[in-house]
Structure 1
Amino acid sequence: MSPAVGLVALVVVSVATAVIGFYGLRISRTTGDFYVASRTVRPWWNASAIGGEYLSAASFLGVAGLILLSGTDALWFPVGYTAGYLMLLLFVAAPLRRSGAYTIPDFTEARLDSRAVRRVTSVVVVVVGWLYIVPQLHGAALTIRITTGLPGWMGSVCVVIVVCLTVVAGGMRSITFVQAFQYWLKLTALAVPVLFIVFTLLGSGSTAVAPAVVNPTGLAPAGPYQNISLLVALLFGTLGLPHVLVRFYTNPDGHSARRTTLIVLGLLSVFYLFPTAYGLLGRMFRPELARSGQADAVVLLLPGQLIGGTAGDLLSALVVAGAFAAFLSTTSGLVVSLAGVISQDVLGGSVRGFRLAAVISSLVPLGFALATDSLALAGSVGLVFAFTASTVCPVLLLGIWWRGLTDTGAIAGMVTGGLLCGGAMVSGSVLGAAGTPFWLAQPAAWTVPAAFAVMVLVSRATKGRVPRTMSRLMTRLHTPERPLVTER
């Protein structure tokens, strides 16, 4: 693909994102608009926006790369990503919306009547968000390096600039329009080229032999423990992702939150068909990408290599636009959720504080991204899911469904899960992929149960700290309300 074509695709999607974001500025006026879009986002809009922000670099590029490397073993990633939303539908979506909170720390403070719990939750949410933004910036760096030949850091910086502009302009109201647009762009950018490739290969009568592919990264699940641990991380980690949870606060009511989640399940199921197809096509026709360390680039390279010519360039440009949309949408969702937390807890909760917090939330992970590198996007995001499953998820599930949770138990569980999973992540980065034991490379199978166990045991030992407001709030969480407006 010509570098000019890739650069044009990046510029077009960035400009389109900025224009849509500034459109949101015209109708973003109040604090509620910036934090939760005044709780007026309807299910189809919200589901498209959730799909836009949830389908990150790991989904757009990493899943295909892992399937290229390890075949069917990597299918746990799309299965886990999608099934996590079923758990959201069953256990979290409606009660969380009924809580009336703006952020996850708002919810934990209201549920446990504790400022200390709020502070710990805020720190955990910010750490999770920053950990998740870094792989998006790595993906942007990879994309701009592969498609244009420019230095990778330019992709990371471009994403941060565009995200800052759109978030500062209109907050959640603005980002909702941006992310809904970007979901459908990403779906089109994957579906059209892969269908074109398949029909072209079928028409030409091409045949391929799938040779044995070596996994140079060592990140793909290799046995029962790794598969189970990965699934635990993805299922429970989805329940604690701050940028996903904050979107449920934008629904008018709990009924709309449930309907939104149901639609998201359908959107994700359709989307993940296409990264899977890219991985399988790459495994059959371009296995050398795995051996050359370019597995994460298979989605970017396959249309140009298998089609070629002007058609290949145009299809590649579409894929590049979709990839950049993935980085922008996920990063913007994370920045919005982090800006809400930082602004509420540190900067007074004003619109001005939100905007300043958005800039801070973007620049810190940019520094980490520029100082590090990642060759396995899906694997690095999987570790973020494990950390989230070990920290935010237990306090949410127990806070919603168990009356015996106390502030001391919540803090002890989050700190335990964070230290155990964070320690495993640091150990893995120090030892390297080849030297890391399997139980450290995939820690969720033991860190998540440990966090739940500590939370329950400490809460039982501090029964006297169950807040007096517990019964009233639990009734609010679990009492279905009538929809505010008839759904269409």
Structure 2
Amino acid sequence: MTLNLWAVAGIALVGLATFSLGFRSSRLASTTQDFLVARRTVRSRRNAAAVSGEYLSAASFLGVAGLVLKDGADALWYPIGFTAGYLALMLFVAAPLRRSGAYTLPDFCEARLGSRGLRGLSTGFVVLIGMLYLVPQLQGAGMTLHQVLPSAPTWVGAAVVAVVVIVNVFGGGMRAITVVQAFQYWLKLFAIAAPTFVMCALFIGDGGVRGLDATGLSEPLPPRFTSAAVVRVETDVVVRVDESVRPWASGRIDNAPANGHSYWSAGTTHTVEQGTELRFAAGESVPVVEGAPTDNQSWLRPVSGSGDLLTTYSLILALFLGTMGLPHVLVRFYTNPDGRAARRTTLHVLLLLSLFYVFPMLIGALSRVYTPELLVTGTTDAAALALPMKIAPGLLGQILGAVTAAGAFAAFLSTSGGLVVSVAGVLYTDWLKRWFRDFRLASGIAGGVPLALALVLKQGDISMSIGMTFALGASTFCPVLVLGIWWRKITWIGAAAGMVIGGGLVLAALGVTIFSRFTGDWAPEYLQQPALVTVPVAFLAVVIMSKATQSRIPADTNRIRMRMHAPDRLGFIRDRDIARFGSAADRTRLANGRHRR
């Protein structure tokens, strides 16, 4: 890795623009409603851009390209699932959720089922999901800054993102974050689309794969180094060799010291320890981290075998249903004026996400040709950052890399901002307001705790980490939202049982997976994608326990359901218990004041 001053400047500009926009918007925030739901006046197009800016996280900008590089056709389910989740959200949740008049997801649970205990349980899961989602964002920020500024430790990037986000949320809450995220969507789209177009043009101009004397992606051969490569392993990895290679090594391989040429025969696996340096000659076969396809033909072929198929189905289910269980996504729909605007926002989000996800897939395919050394170290999340300098060494590559790095940093900032403001909102309204009157304290906790976790936990594939968060959302809030909106007979006891059982199973799988990473990666793959089991179990638990406790159906169920399902023009939408979220002065300003949208 070499220092890219252009990328450092691009990251600095993104951070400065984010801070400036947030600071300017924060001057318009004067009430509690500004901090929590931006006064419910965000128009559908701006909200769609803000939702997309918030949703296109490190998993989208870096993780998807890295998974395509490593797993090929199997990885295409990630962008499909990330986008398709909004279809389910639009059909079943968006408009009724906005019409409920709630301010947060726990507030909806209490409004629909009339239980303060369920509200407290929901708050706990909101905080947990938000922090689990935020940790890989901060880890990705550290990796990005380390990629463009090798002398900077990985914790520096994580700390920079956390500080900028917390300061923005300090100043204006949801109102400030909305403007920032809308801007950052278009910035991210440009930052990934423009370099991809240029790199595709250079690839075609070089004569494609044949011009590079590289292995074609559809050929039954492993990828090959197009030039002599030096690979430094920064975490312990196990690699598999499909064709024999003779790397020069300095460090430790297979629990023994290595200093000189080694011989790795075809069909063998080797453990390469942290700090080892490997050198490969041009044209040599690329050893691939264990678990990924070792040849390009397999890379292009979809899953085969029942084990892989079950994992894929589990991933699809988690992504499709998990979106409606992500608190930082759902809170954005509380900012729309009415249910119709919430549904229209979701439709626009589908279009914006579909446009964006074309480009990470192209980057992943190009990386398989130009940056195969990432397959050795397993750091495939760096593909989007490393590719520009491989395709265009020199000034052009540095500029392309700078644009991509700036876009990646915008992804970390926008998603982290949404997560911090959503977690801070429930912390403030449900846990901290009785002792402290300052929303800013909740913001500091919501950003500081994930930062500490990001520095302690071992980094894995970003998309895999976020996939587990989607599974948790799908196994906790998805059943409560769908059944709470569409089934009259749900009770708070049934909802609590579903959340505890579904969420508990996912957390148990997550705990085993994390422990496995520190003790040799022995956990079976299906524990990394448990949604195929946990989601049906959660739905079943809600139904069974609700059937057993029909005497606990809230007395105002019909009134709440009519409010959620009645057309907007009938005028049934009412904000829930506005007095608890603001002072008399706040309510006067809301009633009489005008503001810019």
Give the TM-score normalised by structure 2. 0.79
Q: Which residue number corresponds to residue 272 of structure 1?
A: 357
Alignment of 1:181-192 (within 5 A): 181-192=183-194
2:142 alignment partner AA = A
The percent identity for this pair of structures is 51
The 3 A distance-change label for structure 1 pair 351 and 322 is farther
Check whether the contact 1:293–1:375 (CA below 8 A) recurs between aligned residues.
Answer: no
Superposition RMSD in Å: 1.7
Q: Which residue number corresponds to residue 216 of structure 1?
A: 289
In the alignment, the residues of structure 1 paired with residue 29 and residue 290 of structure 2 have an alpha-carbon distance, to the nearest angstrom, of: 45
The offset of 1:373, in angstroms, is 2.4
1:115 alignment partner AA = R
The offset of 1:289, in angstroms, is 1.6
In the alignment, the residues of structure 1 paired with residue 164 and residue 405 of structure 2 have an alpha-carbon distance, to the nearest angstrom, of: 16
Q: Which residue number corresponds to residue 40 of structure 1?
A: 41
In the alignment, the residues of structure 1 paired with residue 89 and residue 414 of structure 2 have an alpha-carbon distance, to the nearest angstrom, of: 20
CA distances 1:167-194 after superposition (whole Å, capped 9, x unpaired): 1111111000100111111111100001
CA distances 1:288-322 after superposition (whole Å, capped 9, x unpaired): 22122221000001011111211111111110100
SS class of match (1:102): coil
Check whether the contact 2:70–2:292 (CA below 8 A) recurs between aligned residues.
Answer: no
Q: Which residue number corresponds to residue 159 of structure 2?
A: 157
The 3 A distance-change label for structure 1 pair 55 and 6 is same
In the alignment, the residues of structure 2 paired with residue 64 and residue 462 of structure 1 have an alpha-carbon distance, to the nearest angstrom, of: 48
The offset of 1:425, in angstroms, is 1.0
Check whether the contact 2:464–2:528 (CA below 8 A) recurs between aligned residues.
Answer: no
Q: Which residue number corresponds to residue 438 of structure 1?
A: 525
In the alignment, the residues of structure 2 paired with residue 303 and residue 350 of structure 1 have an alpha-carbon distance, to the nearest angstrom, of: 51
SS class of match (1:405): coil
SS class of match (1:223): helix
The 3 A distance-change label for structure 1 pair 481 and 227 is same
Check whether the contact 1:34–1:173 (CA below 8 A) recurs between aligned residues.
Answer: yes
Alignment of 1:290-305 (within 5 A): 290-305=375-390
1:180 alignment partner AA = A
The 3 A distance-change label for structure 1 pair 327 and 466 is same
Check whether the contact 1:304–1:316 (CA below 8 A) recurs between aligned residues.
Answer: yes
The offset of 1:219, in angstroms, is 8.1
Check whether the contact 1:387–1:418 (CA below 8 A) recurs between aligned residues.
Answer: yes
CA distances 1:81-134 after superposition (whole Å, capped 9, x unpaired): 000000010001000000111100000000001101100000011000000000
Check whether the contact 2:23–2:171 (CA below 8 A) recurs between aligned residues.
Answer: yes
Check whether the contact 2:45–2:348 (CA below 8 A) recurs between aligned residues.
Answer: yes
The 3 A distance-change label for structure 1 pair 356 and 464 is same
In the alignment, the residues of structure 2 paired with residue 292 and residue 105 of structure 1 have an alpha-carbon distance, to the nearest angstrom, of: 42
In the alignment, the residues of structure 2 paired with residue 467 and residue 362 of structure 1 have an alpha-carbon distance, to the nearest angstrom, of: 36
Q: Which residue number corresponds to residue 325 of structure 1?
A: 410
In the alignment, the residues of structure 2 paired with residue 466 and residue 219 of structure 1 have an alpha-carbon distance, to the nearest angstrom, of: 50
Q: Which residue number corresponds to residue 512 of structure 2?
A: 427
Check whether the contact 2:140–2:462 (CA below 8 A) recurs between aligned residues.
Answer: yes
Q: Which residue number corresponds to residue 540 of structure 2?
A: 453
Q: Which residue number corresponds to residue 4 of structure 2?
A: 3
Alignment of 1:105-116 (within 5 A): 105-116=106-117
The offset of 1:287, in angstroms, is 2.0
2:63 alignment partner AA = G
Alignment of 1:90-239 (within 5 A): 90-149=91-150, 150-207=152-209, 208-209=214-215, 210=217, 211-212=221-222, 216=289, 218=291, 223-239=308-324
The offset of 1:349, in angstroms, is 8.1
2:563 alignment partner AA = R
More strand by share: 2
SS class of match (1:374): coil
In the alignment, the residues of structure 2 paired with residue 155 and residue 475 of structure 1 have an alpha-carbon distance, to the nearest angstrom, of: 48
Check whether the contact 1:237–1:386 (CA below 8 A) recurs between aligned residues.
Answer: yes
2:407 alignment partner AA = G
The offset of 1:216, in angstroms, is 2.3
The offset of 1:218, in angstroms, is 3.8
CA distances 1:218-238 after superposition (whole Å, capped 9, x unpaired): 489772101100001101110
SS class of match (2:488): coil
More helix by share: 1
Give the TM-score normalised by structure 1. 0.96
The offset of 1:4, in angstroms, is 2.4
What 5-or-longer segments of structure 1 have no aligned partner?
A: none
Check whether the contact 1:130–1:365 (CA below 8 A) recurs between aligned residues.
Answer: yes
The 3 A distance-change label for structure 1 pair 94 and 7 is same
2:170 alignment partner AA = V
